[in-house]
Amino acid sequence: LQRVGEAIKAFEWWTVDELDEGQVFESLEHNGVSFAPPYEPHGVKMLYDGNPVTLTTEQEEVATYYAAIPDDGPQLSLSGGQREIFQKNFFADFRKVLGPK
């Protein structure tokens, strides 16, 4: 409880004057650009029509990204109609990465 009390003292949002209409904040703190570490391939083959396919590092990275998306996440959620749009757009881009093979 002591930590909660200290956190509340840190910023008492309810005592701050309201901002002018259209103004969202008074200041912005930027800590710089953050880059993900380079992708490290794992070498797991993708199954296509039941046959294992060896992917390039770039292809594997894209496939791994898709495989990691949770079914109940916003991209693949069954509600809201986003699933079909995301899958259409993703696989259009994935086909470009896969090339004409």
Full pLDDT tens readout for the chain, 101 residues = 677 777 666 777 778 888 889 998 888 888 899 998 999 999 999 999 999 999 999 999 999 999 999 988 888 888 777 889 999 999 999 999 999 86
Provide, for the chain, the percentages of residues in helix, strand and coil under a 3-state DSSP scheme, each rounded to the nearest 5.
40, 5, 55
pTM, two decimals, is 0.64
Can you read off the two tokens belonging to residue 70?
Answer: 């949770």
Dihedral sign of CA atoms 57, 59, 60, 62 in order = positive
Question: Which uninterrupted H or E stretch holds 53?
Answer: strand 51-53
